[in-house]
Structure 1
């Protein structure tokens, strides 16, 4: 290493990943940004993750070099990431010490990791609780201090094979690796880091610049594919989302292109709820665009899969709506079938209300605990406040929609007003009111079949 500073290489996934055992969706970028990188850098240690390495080609050589040469490796195994587990194994084989293993606390550990010390943290899914962040950072800081200059084996390979001699870490090895890098024609210090491309694309989505975001995600997919024989599900998922949102050259073709992207990541058999949920949305929009009942049937199946996997409000709200759609479609051939569809919709709305009642006090309590942080004037504090505002908006909007479907119009109006007065981007309100318009139009056709009979408010 030419840099005099010590260097930490962080082994973990990036972006939003799904833990296939629990079905939970975790934003790993927040784990890295708020739990790991600040602690490492506070020690004067350079901190880098694979997607931050500047490159314009394969980074396999650089990755192996980091696993061999880095003064410290922190491996986050959250979501049972197979690449992270593989890279941890390489590190344990190469270096007897200075490796720290962490994960979110609901990880089901493989048997072979039961004898490895794994520091746990609590992840909310799409956010990190401030108190939990401070607790974990303090513990990680102490652990770094304990291992960074200590020649004591933390690798099970060198613990059990205690006569094993590790590879020599010397300039000759580094020079050989550099030579391989040059031979492979991989300019490590040029181009854009994958993390920068992804972040720019996500920022463009926030700004509703979907065509530009699509181009960046296409670039990210190409770069990620250089280092793996398997497509990165998260990147393809985000590319599919940006693709259908462009509605270019027209909505139907963009939706069909989006479906092809989702099918390329094993849509028929995947247990990734985010992929399945997006497929449900795309198929729903194809049906709404007049492309036929087959899309409605498939949308219903996708939302059922994602709803029963995640048990969350978003999929519940959409599942109820497509059940009402079905009652008005050619798929329902009798009033008995139509009533069955409406019964399923009502059951789902009741479940949505339960989930709203469960989630609301949790977010209020966390927002209260984070009051000092959200008002400290920092970007992180602003992002946290926006997160809480969005959660409160959607809980109110979901309550309003569920009560509307159930005919509880007083509760519908109350929660609609709560959503309206809560700080939110205009697109959220437009999305909510658009969906309410669709639901009202459908219930006006078949509401008389519900028990009690559904009648639109005057």
Structure 2
């Protein structure tokens, strides 16, 4: 008698986890996870275990679709973000109403959509999958897999009558909503095309206009992003906070809104409240370079305002720690690393100059990589300018300053509004002050003054 088939959807080989140090292993041998943990437990449950790489030859798309459709059970390991795994999970959810179970390591953080789905958690303290780890995983997942295997897929659960008996009245309602959403997105593009000083008022009006639709996540997310992008002056941040406060609690509790709220709190001057909000967000939803970069920036701001050397040193070290944690998650993300050279030099402990030079090289490489990939980031050229200052490269800094319009950006597209430019100038001034060579320091200070004049003239 043939056993029912269990098709496993998971990464192959050894993969980086980007887990924060101390919160999970740096990489995981997913082949060992399959061999030592999943295969035994699948057999215990009475299924025949199959994974794509164990077929004769690599699965082509048609074969993969067949496995996903005909398998009696599909298990999807969501421990790390993986495009193929997410794609195959979506196929199974759409194709069959039952028999799909999500699993993930206990320390992993899921992407937004997947985080809303029931997921079996298992202990994974190390990535080699030693005997004790494999046994603990089997113990953690065996009974829950058996229980959840009969659960309905989100697609079949959400859409009544799916796939061939869908309620047409529901279809009409959704079409009306999508038309409203398309109209709103067109209005958002119009706001972005306005001069920076005019955006926040129109963005606020648009948020009020679409308040009746704001209970839906896509609309709320689009509007909060527009409001944040439209901030021109510090007092505009209250508009962002007010909008978040107007959202239903279940929607405002999503990770993205926590990030926007923390940043807006800092913008209104409530830096300590911002730090508390960021720490809570990281604790609940996990670290990302963006969250740790925001956290480092808040500590850096407090350090500048500190009333004593001892307090300044404490806050500076907290900023360095946050930035280092963010940099370790992804070396290609230059947000965290670009702030470290001048912080190391300000601390001036043993080895800090070597650390500054090492990180500076990484920042430049990451920025140049982003430039070669045509990454659309309004901070990219500004980060390269800051790196030139940190390197004491007056020639490069002056060349970039000569092309100021390109650096600042085209208003309505990637323009750096006044408060953003003020942040950059403050960093440039701090960096220039750390250059020991008098001639180069004077040249860099002249570039910083040029930007300060540009800001004061309010031509951004």
TM-score by length of 2: 0.46
Higher relative contact order (CA 8 A, sep 6+): 1
